[in-house]
Amino acid sequence: MKKVLIANRGEIACRVARACREAGIASVAVATPPDVEALHAFAADETLSIQSYLDGAELIAAAKKCGADAIHPGYGFLSESHLFADAVAAAGLTWIGPPGAAIRKIGDKMSGKDVAEAAGVPTVPGCSGGDQSDSHLKAEAIKIGFPVLVKASGAGGGKGMRVVEREADLEDAIGACRREAAGGFKDDRLLLEKYLRPVRHVEIQVIADTHGNVLHLGERDCSVQRRHQKVVEESPSPAISPETRAAMGRAAAALMKAAGYVNAGTCEFIVDAAGKYYFLEVNARLQVEHPVTETVTGLDLVRLQLDVAAGRPLPIRQEDVTFRGHAIEVRIYAEDPERDFMPSAGRILEYEEPRGVRIDTGVRPGSAVPPDYDPMLAKLIASGRNRAEAIAAARRALREYAILGVCTNIAYLDAILGHPEFAAGRATTDFLAKHFQAWKPPSPPPPSEVLAAVAASDPTSRAAAGPSSDRDPHSPWRARDAWRNL
């Protein structure tokens, strides 16, 4: 493998480019018209212009044009398309991900559930496959008992899902899920599951090579979710026992082996209050939150992806996988909490990252935040010897993160990490709905206080204080809670 085309954008494209550089592999970025000035377009060794990140034929043509011999799909876009994976292989290029056959087998929720059951992995009671008529689904929902979860088989990212509390709402939910799935994923098949609560959302990271080795690399707790979208991820989970953790790891590895899975992937589970776990689905790609696992294991998952795709065996065995400390990741979005978290497009006027934590980002000062794509700006990953230290580090870093020009969810994330229920490790998937439904960002200080802060920061008033430093309590950057994104 000499040159990799990165079929993605934003922070993950920058992340893959960095891994390629460290591995001595040339990298090629692609950029659509809204992204010509994006950071990822400058992170790789060369860049090609394309019209869409969803046009597989165009991406393959771009790879051939620049002499790339491999394609890394990142996450999102075409990363879980078995058709694209097969097309890349048919074009004589290396696909840095699971083979198309494995994606077909477990890439959608229905077939993944079938593979899990055949492998003896517990699944949520429900109905999948078979008759897709509305009348049959209604009859099955009544058998399962309310509340039920209506899910689109081929959807992802929290799309095509509805919780139905009563029979009267079922017909509308089925119709809405079908439309969302057909429009966004070209697959309107639905499945039903008993909606269990309270539960935690826990996923197991897996990596497999072409030599029959399948490793599980511990769990990530992703229970803090808004509208089925993950907001905070951490490892280890504060709520599962060592015995449950080991059992879930073995179950995930067995499922992936049964599917003929190769490369990085994640098995998602829910865990109930009694500690029983149930398989949800497989994410047949690198996860957004993979840095959490990297932090607690010391492994580089993208480098391992490159090694596996090149045909090399995994350099470690299961008994070599060890864990240290605690890690927490939060996702920084350009969104306006005062407008129901609507995306906030614009241009970043000022951008300053906090120190002492890991930041994976795809922006810099002056970057445009286009309305065309997901508004995630960065991921902040904090760690510590224990959970309390990791939370404290994350909150400190959030308060030191300066982004001006677009609205962000930084204050929201800080409030979540500071909530007593989260601090106690008791957050379940309904945590945000219960405690943050009416949350609003803190009001900006009145102009008089801003003027007072500016006057206090006047260097002439502190001439005798000596040179300032990062620890200077009078620095205006020490009072970022008083700033508001405009």
Please report the sign of the dihedral spanned by the C-alpha atoms of residue 241, residue 243, residue 249, residue 255.
negative
- Ordered DSSP codes for 33-102: GGGTT-THHHHSSEEEE-S-TT-HHHHHHHHHHHT--EEE--SSTTTT-HHHHHHHHHTT-EESS--HHH
Which residues fall within 8 angstroms of residue 452, CB to CB, at 6 or more apart?
none
Distances (CA, A) of 392 to 104, 214, 395, 397, 461: 42, 35, 5, 9, 33
Question: Of all helices (H) and strands (E), which one includes residue 435?
Answer: helix 431-435
State the sign of the Cα–Cα–Cα–Cα dihedral 17, 20, 21, 26.
Answer: negative
- Is 285 considered catalytic here? yes
Q: What b-and-e string marks burial along 267-278, b requiring 16 or more CB atoms within 10 Å of the CB?
A: bbbbbeeeeebb
- Tell me the two tokens of residue 114: 């079938």
Burial state string for 279-300 with b = 16 or more CB within 10 A and e = fewer than 16: bbbbbbbbbbbbbbbbbbbebb
Instruction: Tell me the longest C-alpha to C-alpha distance in the chain.
Output: 80
Q: Are 244 and 277 in contact (CB under 8 A)?
A: yes
> Catalytic residue among 220, 245, 285, 331, which?
285
- Asked if residues 246 and 324 have their Cβ atoms less than 8 Å apart, the reply is no
Q: Any residues with CB less than 8 A from the CB of 179 and at least 6 apart, and which?
A: 188
Coil vs helix vs strand at 125:
coil
The rounded distance, in Å, linking the Cα atoms of 90 and 31 is 24
Written as six digits, the tokens of 198 are 């309270």
Q: Which of 64, 14, 84 is nearest to 285 (CA)?
A: 84
| Sequential DSSP letters for 140-196 | HHHHH-SSEEEEETT--TT-SEEEE-SGGGHHHHHHHHHHHHHHHHS---EEEEE--
Structure tokens at 290: 């993979």
SS3 content of the chain, % helix, strand, coil (to 5): 35, 25, 40
At residue 389, what is the residue type? E
Catalytic positions = 285
